[in-house]
Structure 1
Amino acid sequence: MDRSLHSINNLFAQLGLPCEDHEIDQFIRTHTLFSQRIRLDEATFWTPSQASFIKESLDFDSDWSEAVDELNTRLHA
């Protein structure tokens, strides 16, 4: 299974968000999760469909899980 197509940029595009590097950096600066207790899929800034996609990606170890893990790490830094 080739996961190389699922970069963080492609994840943002999949979520319907701006996906250029500087736009992703701005999103992360704006939405940093300061508590490790907040699960990525439970963050209040997602739409229901975005949260569902993120949750399913993690729960089922989908092709997107590596990109979602990267986003999770960056938002919790």
Structure 2
Amino acid sequence: MQQPSHDLKTLFDQLGLPSEGTDIDGFIGEHPLDPDTKLVDAPFWSDQQKDLLRDWLLADGEEAVLVDQLNVRLHDGK
């Protein structure tokens, strides 16, 4: 089975954030989003991070799937 070339670690690396599993889980736990807040509008992103998230969403490939995964986890808080 072929491994995906991107994962949440890759996304966090690109965002300039600590990217080990516990780091990702900690970030998500510390930054829950309410249902009315869009991922790219969250106040904790820098302008560069927002741009990257938008670009990955617009790519509509593996990258967009990762951003969607992060979006779901931040809205679930897990």
Q: Same fold (TM over 0.5)?
A: yes
Identify the structure with the greater helix proportion: 2
Q: Distance in 1 between matches of 2:16 and 2:41?
A: 18
Contact 1:15 1:50 in 2 (8 A): yes
Gaps of 5+ in 1: none
Partner of 2:19: 19
Q: Distance in 2 between matches of 1:51 and 1:6?
A: 19
Contact 1:3 1:64 in 2 (8 A): no
Query: What is the TM-score of this pair, normalised by structure 2?
Result: 0.86
Query: What is the TM-score of this pair, normalised by structure 1?
Result: 0.87
Q: Distance in 1 between matches of 2:71 and 2:56?
A: 12
Aligned-pair CA distance for 1:3:
8.4
Q: Distance in 1 between matches of 2:21 and 2:60?
A: 25
Between the two proteins, the alignment pairs up a number of residues equal to 75
What secondary structure sits across from 1:53 in the alignment? Answer: helix
Moved over 3 A (4+): none
Partner of 1:44: 43
Aligned-pair CA distance for 1:60:
3.7
Contact 1:3 1:63 in 2 (8 A): no
Identity of aligned residues (%): 39
